[in-house]
Each structure stands twice: as structure tokens, then as C-alpha cells.
Amino acid sequence: MKHLTWREAVAKTFIYLQIVFVLFLILFPIGWMGMSSFRYNVDITAYPPKLLAPVTGENYVNLVQINNFGRIAVNSVIIVTGSTGLGMLLGVPAAYAAARFKKQKWAFLILLARMSPGILFLIPWYMVALAVQMTDNYLTLILTHTVITMPVIVWLMISFFEELPPDMEESALMDGCSRFQVLWLIAIPLALPGIAVSAILSFIFSWNYFLFALVLAGSKTMPLTVAAFQFIGTSAVNWGGLMAAATVISIPPMILTMFVQRWLVRGLTAGAVKG
């Protein structure tokens, strides 16, 4: 390592100080959330705020035993897995076709969902769901959440398919494979990392999405986000319980994000970068 001059050392220290300060501001509310979730209410609302306080798992136990969060978590998993699976089923072949046959214009159609305010669709969906008695129904929630997941998958997979060298696919076509066989036997296995990234990002988006389930879910199918929101009204002063609920719904996306860090920009800006 080369020797730093005085000036460079000071400049570097100054940059590190700024990074630490910014990181503190960004992480503070999340840290407060996690810390409070393991505390008693009296300690959360104590003045002056306590750095050290007795630790308790009570908030989490109550969440499962009283608020039935175990059952509700299953709802979240059903909706999120279903909408990710359906999004892949619809999105991956479409992305392959868009990438290989230069149908990017088509893919912009898919982006309409991203542009429009969700309530615009939610009103007609709600009226139809009422008419056919499909409110509080897993299928309804999976279909509506697929509107969120599919565009992300399509745009991510277009970029992954475009990165694949076309040579192998071309020789397979020469050998008499159909396009569908090429997609299934060659393109998808080669694009497996992309498939994993798309599935994970789609999972995060679907997990976080709040609005559709707020209206369309009922007591049977309610996902964690809606349950945590309704928890506010019923227990305005039970801060420990609320913070435990917030922590529970935040942990899966935080962990998954670490796996897809490298592709996060691509996923979050899906569709906007190329346009």
C-alpha cells in the first residue's frame, strides 16, 4: 500500500466520517424498530430514552399467540409465492420472445402497470370480485399481485436473455429443436442466475405491496402487511407489539436483498434504463 500524504489522509477521514453519519441516519429507525421489539412498553416510552433496557421476547410470543401471526404469515407466503410463480410462467417466455425477436415495443405495454396509480385498477377489480364473490380469495390476491411481479420479471429477464450468446441456441435450432425446446432446454438453464434474481426481486415486491390486499383481502386471506396495519388501530399504545410486527415483516426482504445486491439497480429500474 502506498504511503498517504497528510492531505490525503485528512480527506479520506472526512469521507469516512460522512459515510458513517449518513449510514447512522439511514439505519437509525430500523435499529430503533428492532431494538424496541425486544423491550417492554415502559422502556420504549421512557424519558430519557434508554440505551440499555431489559430484553424480552414477549412481544413476539404475543404476536403468534394472540394476534395469530403464524397463520397470517402463511397467507403472505401463499400470495407471494403464487404471484411470483404465475409471474414467471407468464413473464419468462414473453421476455425470451421480446429479447430474441426484438419486440421491445411490446414490453412497454407491460410497463403501463408500473406507471398507473393502483386504485385505478383496484376499483374495477373490486367490483368484479364482489360480483363473482371472489373477495377474500387467494386466487384474486395472486392475480392482482402478479400485476406487480410480472413487469419486473419481464424486464429483468429481457436483459438476462440478451446477455446470452445466441450461438448455442442457433446450433440447437439447426439440429432441429423447436423454439420452445430451445427456450426450455438451453436458454432457461443458461439464464438460471437471472431466473433466481427475478424470482427474489419479484418476491420482495409482492411481499411489500400493500394496497391491493388492503381492499381485496379479508380475515381468511389477509397478508402480514395488512395485518400489521390493522394492528395499529387495535393497540395504539402497545408499541412493543407494533415494533415486533414491523420487524417480522421487514426481515425477509432485508435478507433477500443481500443476495441480489448486484442486480438491485437493474430490478428497481426495470424498464426505465433502456427506454
Partner 1 sequence: MQGTQPRESWLSATDRLAPLLMLAPATIFTLLMIGFPFVYAGYLSLHKLTLGSPTPPIFVGLDNYFKALDDPVFWTALRVNLFFYAVGLLLELVLGTYIGILFGQPLRGVAVARVLAVFPAVIPSVAIGLVFAQMFDPAQGLFNFGLRALGQRPLAWLAAPNTVLQSLLLVEVWQWTPFIALIVMGAMQTLPTEPYEAAVIDGASGWQILRYLTLPLLRPAIVVAAMLRTVDLMRIFDSVYIMTQGGPINSSMTLNVYAFTQGFLFSQFGYASAIMLVLLALTALASASLGALRRRSSG
Q: Which of residues 174-193 bind partner 1 (CB under 8 A)?
A: 176, 178-180, 183
Pick one of 55, 109, 132, 168: the residue that binds partner 1 (CB under 8 A): 109
Q: What does the buried/exposed string (b/e) look like for 21-52 if buried means 16 or more CB atoms within 10 Å of the residue's CB?
A: eeeeeeeeeeeebbbbbbbbbebbeeeeeeee
Stretch that binds partner 1, among 56-64, 133-141, 158-166, 250-258 (CB under 8 A): 250-258
What distance lies between CA 49 and its chain's CA centroid?
A: 33
Judged by CB under 8 A, does residue 147 bind partner 1? Answer: yes
The correct pick among 72, 80, 199, 243 for binding partner 1 (CB under 8 A) is: 243
Task: Name which position in 64, 90, 172, 190 contacts partner 1 (CB under 8 A).
Answer: 90
Site string for partner 1, 53-72 (x = CB under 8 A): --------------------
Q: Site for partner 1 (CB under 8 A): which residue of 89, 132, 139, 168? A: 89
Tell me whether residue 189 or residue 236 sits nearer to partner 1 (CB atom).
236
Answer yes or no whether residue 168 interacts with partner 1 by CB under 8 A: no
CA separation for the pair 183, 191 (Å, rounded) = 10
CA pair distance 221, 74, nearest whole angstrom: 9
